[in-house]
Amino acid sequence: MQYRNLGADLTVSAVGLGCMGMSHAYGAPADKKEMTELLAKAVDMGYTFFDTAEVYGTPESPHDNEELVGAALKPYRDKIVLATKFGIHFDMTSPAVNKPLLPDSRPEVIRASVEASLMRLGTDHIDLYYQHRLDPKIPIEEVAGVMADLIREGKITLWGMSEATEDAIRRAHAVCPVTAVQNRYSMMARWYENLFPVLEELNIGYVAFSPLANGFLSGKYDKTSQFEAVTDYRSVMPQFQPENIDRNQALLELLNSLSREKKATPAQISLAWMLCKKPYIVPIPGTRKYSRLIENAGAADIMLSAEEVGAIDTALDGMEMSQVFGGTQVVNK
């Protein structure tokens, strides 16, 4: 496993592990014993960066993922970087499969969240604590002030922001330095590349979630792929709809061509593209399978030159592709 730095003070594995899908959004939760074993194998392979959130779970077990991750990684706590998030809950009154998000970053809510996450994770500190979504009702300076207090108290070590904008990043960073921004990023979702200059200016890392476009860029899905209608968000994601598979053929053909050239898989090429683009990008693909864990880690060993990365970008710029899932709707009530 390769390693790289996020911000000034955080060294992590070049590929992290997004743990959400073990409990949330990709069908019924996986078997806890199997996931506990998988997480242990990840540590053995050199993964040190593990990502969860207080809201990753099910209606019956709303905090399932933090509980799973905390228990599974407790024996390795001094070897790993544990990241979790605060600041949203789901609108459970919605009939949608992918229920809207309600932001809430009131200081008292953050305080309650951090204490509950510490308990579920079975730890005395959180290494990287993200605001899960911006809250338009609470000035970001106020949120950053709470983060500074939590750092002084030793409850968190560093903090970050998810799906953040340049203005919010700059304002937050001026109050309490931001270590990482966790935003969506993949070959199908490049709209946050305009943040790269400010991240470089302020020395902030970029943690890329959904780096494989929710698995689509693995090349493992086609028109016959089926997803559970109620519990699997992919059932309503545009890139997986049968009518869009054909629209994405040029993208898949590009990945397959590069895979043959580099003796890699489409998923590895997708990850290597961003790893080789910027030294401060760390993707956090999720999986429930040991084979994928190995495959994703191997992406860090694939070298693409700046010219090769630029050629891929140019190809993507001129390529027809379907819409891609852009994230759960955020609503304010």
DSSP 312-329: HHHHHHT---------PP
Q: Are strands 88-90 and 81-86 parallel, antiparallel or unpaired?
A: unpaired
Kindly tell me if the per-residue pLDDT of 263 is higher than 70: yes
The set of catalytic residues is 56
| C-beta separation of 216 from 187 below 8 A | no
Arithmetic mean of pLDDT, 177-186? 98
Q: What is residue 102's predicted lDDT score, i.e. its pLDDT? A: 93
Query: Residue 23 — very low, low, confident or very high, per pLDDT cuts 50/70/90?
Result: very high
Q: What is the 3-state secondary structure (H, E, C) of 118-140?
A: HHHHCCCCEEEEEECCCCCCCCH
d(CA 182, CA 148): 19
Per DSSP, 99 falls in state: P
pLDDT for position 325? 85
**Ordered DSSP codes for 70-85:** HHHHGGGGGG-EEEEE
* Class of residue 153 by CB neighbours under 10 A (exposed 0-12, middle 13-18, buried 19+): exposed
pLDDT at 333 over 70: no
CA-to-CA dists, residue 230 to 92, 220, 234, 235, 325, angstroms: 13, 22, 10, 8, 17
Q: What is residue 275's predicted lDDT score, i.e. its pLDDT?
A: 98
CA distance 333 to 89: 12
What average pLDDT does the chain have?
Answer: 95
Confidence category of residue 235, pLDDT binned at 50, 70, 90? confident
Task: Label residues 271-308 b or e (16+ Cβ within 10 Å = b).
Answer: bbbbbbbbebbbbbbbbbeeebbebbbbbbebebeeeb
Looking at the chain, list the stretches that DSSP marks H as alpha helix, in order from N- to C-terminal side: 32-45, 64-73, 107-121, 140-152, 166-175, 196-202, 242-245, 249-262, 266-275, 290-298, 306-317
The Cα–Cα gap between 117 and 105 comes to 15
Compute the distance between CA of residue 84 and CA of residue 78 in angstroms, rounded to an integer.
Answer: 16
Q: Rounded to the nearest 5 degrees, what angle is found at the Cα of 254, between the Cα atoms of 45 and 15?
A: 20
Q: What angle do CA 324, 184, 70 make, to 5 degrees?
A: 120
Q: Which residues is 160 bridged to in the sheet?
A: 130, 180
Question: How many CA atoms does the CB half-sphere of 98 hold within 13 Å?
Answer: 16
pTM of the complete model: 0.96
Q: Facing residues of 186 across strands?
A: 189
DSSP 286: B
Query: Of the ranges 34-38, 55-59, 139-143, 268-272, which one carries the lowest mean pLDDT score?
Result: 55-59
